[in-house]
Amino acid sequence: MRAREIMTSPAITVKQEVPVRGAAALMVSHGFTALPVVDDDKRLIGIVTEADLLRNGYGDEAGASRVGDVMTTPAVGMDGDAQVPVMARAMVDDHVRCFPIVDGSQVVGVVTRRDLVRALARTDTTVCAEVQRVLDLYGGGRKWTVVVQDGEATIGAENTDEETRNVLTALAGSIHGVLRVRVLTGGK
């Protein structure tokens, strides 16, 4: 599973000129813990987190006045093709709560810890049913069998050519909750 499959898109972003209180209100209203900070061309230049707001927004009586004064920069973005396990490890190892997802340098989405946990929480039974439904639609009926265990989809596809096996792998791999795909043909 890849970042683009679980990201929130379009991303809600702020510019560095936005007042700190405005960013705080935006976070609260959407239930976010961080917001990517972008320039006029929607390129990622930083990130503002709850911790940034708390640490810097109350620095003195007036507090910091704008996002650019409190944001963390540079911010680390991930490509839409980033694998979920890679993002999960980076979030844990680097103590990051979310990653902006970028296309080049433009922010196109956001993946949070909650998004990763939501993807993990899907049961194998739910994932299996969805994979089977997609393959049945593709094949015009039940031509292949599917078993999903611990996120690995195993497709029974006897007498299937290589091109069809590639399509089955791509279709199954596109389903949220599928981490790996195996296509079994004959005795393999």
Tell me, what's the pLDDT at 105?
Answer: 84
pLDDT tens, position by position, 47-70: 999 888 888 765 544 556 889 989
pTM, full prediction? 0.64
Under-50 pLDDT residues of the chain: 60-61, 188
Domain count, the chain: 2
Helix (H, G, I), strand (E, B) or coil at 143: coil
The CATH number given to whatever domain includes residue 169 is: 3.30.1340.30
Residue 128 belongs to domain spanning: 122-184
Q: Are residues 131 and 113 in the same domain?
A: no
Q: How far apart are CA 164 and CA 168, in angstroms?
A: 6
Q: Are residues 52 and 103 in the same domain?
A: yes
Q: Are residues 59 and 152 in the same domain?
A: no
Q: Are residues 108 and 128 in the same domain?
A: no
